[in-house]
Structure 1
Amino acid sequence: MKQITITTTFSVYESLKELNQEDSALMIQAIKARKNAYSPYSKFNVGATILLDNGEVVHGSNQENAAYPSGLCAERVAIFYAGANYPNAKVLKLFISASPSDRELEEPIPPCGACRQSIAEYEIKQEHDIEIFFMGGSEGKIYKSNSLKNLLPLLFDKKYL
């Protein structure tokens, strides 16, 4: 038997104030997008903002449905919107803010597994890494990954099909 070790690296910012001006503004937009979440069942609100290489900025929020799992997470709402409306643009950065509706979390909340796989599809298709920033609520630490590969190091993609 042989073992392999997989390591990942993230940058950690203590608050929005440590981000550069553009990234801070984009995270604030993700926080605002979170307020548009429709989450009557989980009461867990998520907002996402994407910066495209053409300068466009798109937003998403989680949208639930009583017929689980018919809803969509904020990250997939935003990335699918970007893909549908700007099919030739590359996704440069993704900003995520998540928190329950009854309190603010300060612990960074990463994308779920389904969102990771969806983001991976775009990163592979565009042959360009996507920077991913995520935080809990609107205060506290922000984690930055330079690529989805840090969150999902063993990617499943079309080469296996």
Structure 2
Amino acid sequence: MEKISLHIHYHRFTSVEALNENEQRLCRAAVSATETSYSPYSEFRVGAALQLEDGQIVSGSNQENIAYPSGLCAERTALFAVGTQFPGTAITVMAVTARTDRFVIRQPVTSCGACLQVMAEFEKRQKQPIAVLFYCIGGEVIRVNSVRDLLPFAFNEERLKA
């Protein structure tokens, strides 16, 4: 038996103002995206903003449905919009945030496993990392340099291509 350890590196910033201007702008776009959230059941509004290699920003928000599995997270709405509207254009960085009137969010909200898998596949498709910012509105920001840091064992079955 061999014991193997995994380590991730990430940066934690005490506020959005500690980020560079470009990343601050992206976090603000993610906050704005929460306005288009359709979340009458959870009242948990999530926004995602993705910056493309040409500087364009594509946003998404969570879209719930009374049949819960039929809804979609903010990250995937934004990613799939990029896939359909900007095919072949790389994503350089994405920001994710959330807000609710039901309780105080005290730390950055991270992506679910399904979103991480989709993020990992986008990173694989474009053959370059996607930096991710998890922003707690009015609080700290966590930054990772690659989706791979968040999901080192992403599903990747090459035989499915055959």
Shorter-chain TM-score above 0.5: yes
Q: Distance in 2 between matches of 1:95 and 1:158?
A: 28
Instruction: Label 1:158 to 1:101 Cα distance change in 2 as closer, same or farther (>3 A).
Output: farther
Partner of 1:38: 38
Partner of 1:145: 144
SS at match of 2:70: coil
What is the percent sequence identity of the aligned residues?
38
Q: Does 1:155 align with 2:148?
A: no
Q: Distance in 1 between matches of 2:134 and 2:79?
A: 15
- Please, what TM-score do these two structures have when normalized by structure 1? 0.95
Q: Which amino acid aligns with 1:148?
A: V
Q: Greater CA deviation, 123-132 or 95-104?
A: 95-104
Q: Which amino acid aligns with 2:3?
A: Q
Q: Distance in 1 between matches of 2:56 and 2:93?
A: 11
Q: Does 1:114 align with 2:114?
A: yes
Provide the alpha-carbon RMSD of the alignment: 1.2
Deviation track 1:72-122 (CA, whole Å, cap 9, x = no partner) reads 000000010011000010011110011333234130111100000000110
| Runs of 5+ consecutive residues of structure 1 not aligned to the other structure | none
Determine if contact 1:16/1:24 at 8 Å carries over to the other structure: yes
Q: Distance in 2 between matches of 1:106 and 1:35?
A: 20
Please state how far the C-alpha of 1:158 moved relative to its aligned partner. Answer: 3.6
Determine if contact 2:16/2:135 at 8 Å carries over to the other structure: no
Q: Which amino acid aligns with 1:142?
A: V
Alignment of 1:114-133 (within 5 A): 114-133=114-133
Q: Distance in 1 between matches of 2:36 and 2:101?
A: 11
Q: Which amino acid aligns with 2:42?
A: S
Q: Greater CA deviation, 147-156 or 101-110?
A: 101-110
Aligned residue pair count: 160
Determine if contact 1:106/1:135 at 8 Å carries over to the other structure: no
Alignment of 1:8-27 (within 5 A): 8-27=8-27
SS at match of 2:77: helix
Determine if contact 1:48/1:74 at 8 Å carries over to the other structure: yes
Q: Which amino acid aligns with 2:149?
A: N
Q: Distance in 2 between matches of 1:31 and 1:104?
A: 15
SS at match of 2:66: coil
- Please, what TM-score do these two structures have when normalized by structure 2? 0.94
| Runs of 5+ consecutive residues of structure 2 not aligned to the other structure | none
Q: Does 1:3 align with 2:22?
A: no
Please state how far the C-alpha of 1:160 moved relative to its aligned partner. Answer: 5.4
SS at match of 2:36: coil
